[in-house]
Chain A
């Protein structure tokens, strides 16, 4: 019985090769597009997902664009539960062209890489970076994007810190995991501060964000409160949150766009559902006489419906396989072109699960109406059509 349904399910699509081929193509494109859009959404969250739960981020409570005094570093270090402190400033310069955008951070050189071990720098390169005041460390992907080699001079024009800067590439970091962002650029905070002191004396010794290491992730909320309380009612009140929450606040700011992409990725499933339902309706209409014959032979209506469902699932399974297999290469091709927007562009396992679920959903919905009609076929009327 089951074997019969399966055989029908596999043979029926072959009867209308052109139509099945077109439907398959449409389904494959839809599953592929659905997967790619899912990958775009997860790329948005890449920063938040890569965040360590043993790090807190402290920023000025007014907004991220306001600095905090350098003196906070020692006060934070003395707070109970804090194991390490580092600080950084968003540099935001332009390398040759504004379209060459990549994140540039001025970091406190020793503590930063201690606190963020997922950025792996070779010991000898690290030593060079600590020795060279104009030194910089770039991510592997970033260095590949511009063809930088260690020892290269990298000219960057400051926008927030006005002036022409020239950095010496001392090291190239690699991510500990494949999902680690390898597109960032780090320069030395002490060097930037020295230049700032010469040019804009009022703006020196100021810090964009503090990165705080904590011993136990469960203490995050308590330590964050302690930090904020110790700077309450000061000139620069602080807002401390986990690194993940900090990253998520960036996602939330562009949340409208993420939601739009989510909605649109379901729209394509709707579109292809309509196409698939159409194909199944046509197939069922043509086979009315066959369904009547099967019923006349004594098969129950449920079996007839199962035939329709099996055909729908066979088509969707084939398309889902093709679509999912194509998603990986397509994501790599797109990812390499969107390097500057999405440093991490990988197909997540959840995305593939969603693709499978979407394909199953399409198969069910597309078969529902034709299956009901097939079940209800009156034997006499159906056979009359067979002529």
Chain B
């Protein structure tokens, strides 16, 4: 015997529009939340990973964890810069930059509340080491001047940081001379200026970190061993990409735990919704099922037909939820990263993997919700179900 045609299944869903819409709508909301959380997580990870460049390594004081808490004295910096495998630039200078990182309170436009942002003091070499930092307005800060350039995300969501405005801090006036776009990176939520000016203004006798390019990233382990064996050094070294990935671990962990817990709870609601709908579908069509059985369709055919109906219903919900979530891609989220204690902007990011897991998730809800009602439909007795007509 052939299968029950899909057409029949589809017509059943279409005939009770309100019920179908309500059930699929509930599922769509669950899939929306599920997808949105995965997209946020993916966006955060992508931002942190693309902040680092694969050839760069970052050195901070051991145990400090972040650049803000780190400080390295000039003696150690000298030792580090004379290590082998530090790359040389085109004109023979060291591809290494001593940087100074501090936090400053800026007022967020949306909330009007002072929020911590990162100010990074860097050098020309520091800029050369981050090719993703591109000026989009104004000009670059000049060495030795009280000038600041701001990241594009920061320029968008904070007050008082337009080109031409000045910020007063550390008893100096700082002119904002440019806006840079570093794409989806943590740098986009930072302000940059000349390291020596910032260090003097903030009265920092020490630098925060050292960033340098390796001649070959494969020499990383060799350099790490050298640093570990040098008793003058109390620092730790990480590839820049890994350093930034580690910086978002707590936030990423929080987002995924919260999101997955919610998805599980929500899906329980949606599965129950699907079950109610499918049980009602079976009850309403008892006579139809009896007829189908009488004209020769097997129990298996009936089981498959009702399961397919439930799966189709959930797929409808899944696609709607996914479509709604894909609209989020134009939004970005700006919040405090607990580990660095400063503002970080990142976007929702939809990947094929996320789309696939969202659809699988919705189908799983349909399967779980549909299996019991379909089982009941398949086990109906032919004679008694025909009599109910």
Contact = CB atoms under 8 A, between A and B. Distances in A.
Interface string B101-126: 01111001001011110000000000
Given A18-B279, A162-B61, 18 more contacts: A19-B276, A19-B280, A29-B272, A62-B102, A65-B116, A159-B65, A233-B171, A235-B171, A252-B108, A252-B115, A254-B336, A267-B33, A268-B269, A271-B29, A271-B30, A274-B23, A275-B272, A278-B273
Interface size class of A (residues with CB under 8 A): 35 or more
Interface string A331-363: 000000000010000000000000000000000
Nearest to A161: B69
B76 interface: no
A151 B275 CA distance: 59
Q: Is the interface of A mostly helix, strand, loop or mixed?
A: helix
Given A92-B69, A235-B171, A29 B116 contact: no
21 contacts: A22-B276, A26-B269, A29-B265, A29-B269, A62-B202, A98-B65, A159-B64, A160-B69, A252-B108, A253-B336, A256-B334, A264-B33, A268-B265, A275-B272, A275-B273, A275-B276, A277-B22, A278-B23, A278-B273, A278-B276, A369-B18
Interface in A236-290: 239, 249, 252-257, 261, 264, 267-268, 270-272, 274-275, 277-279, 281-282
Nearest to A36: B265
Interface in A269-327: 270-272, 274-275, 277-279, 281-282
A46 interface: no
B329 interface: no
Contacts of A26: 268-269, 272-273
Contact of A271 (B105, B266, B343): B266
B258 interface: yes
Interface of B: 18-19, 22-23, 25-26, 29-30, 32-33, 61, 63-65, 68-69, 102-105, 108, 111, 113-116, 169-171, 202-203, 205, 234, 254, 258, 262, 265-266, 268-270, 272-273, 275-277, 279-280, 333-336, 338, 341, 343
A202 interface: yes
Contact of B103 (A19, A64, A254): A64
B116 A274 contact: no
A235 to B, nearest CB: 7
Contacts of B26: 271-272, 274-275, 278
B272 A267 contact: no
A264 B108 CA distance: 24
Interface of A: 18-19, 22-23, 25-26, 29-30, 33, 37, 61-66, 92, 94, 98, 157-160, 162, 202, 233, 235, 239, 249, 252-257, 261, 264, 267-268, 270-272, 274-275, 277-279, 281-282, 341, 369
B44 to A, nearest CB: 12
Given A159-B63, A255-B335, A65 B341 contact: yes
Contacts of A202: 205
B63 A157 contact: yes
A282 to B, nearest CB: 5
Contacts of B169: 61-62
A105 B338 CA distance: 17
B189 to A, nearest CB: 13
Q: Is the interface of B mostly helix, strand, loop or mixed?
A: mixed
Contacts of A235: 171, 203
A254 B335 contact: yes
Contact of B272 (A22, A64, A268): A22
Contacts, number: 147
A329 B358 CA distance: 32
Nearest to B339: A98
B148 to A, nearest CB: 14
Given A62-B169, A63-B103, A253-B116, A275 B269 contact: yes
A256 B338 CA distance: 13
Contacts of B63: 94, 157-159, 162
Contacts of B335: 253-257
B170 A274 contact: no
B269 A253 contact: no
A341 B234 CA distance: 31
Interchain residue pairs A-B with the least CB separation, the first 8: A26-B272, A275-B273, A253-B336, A252-B113, A274-B26, A256-B335, A278-B22, A63-B103
A159 B203 CA distance: 21
Contacts of A160: 64, 69
Nearest to B376: A18
Contacts of A66: 102-103, 202
Contact of B111 (A30, A255, A257): A255
A182 B56 CA distance: 43
A278 B276 CA distance: 8
Given A25-B272, A62-B105, A162-B64, A261 B258 contact: yes
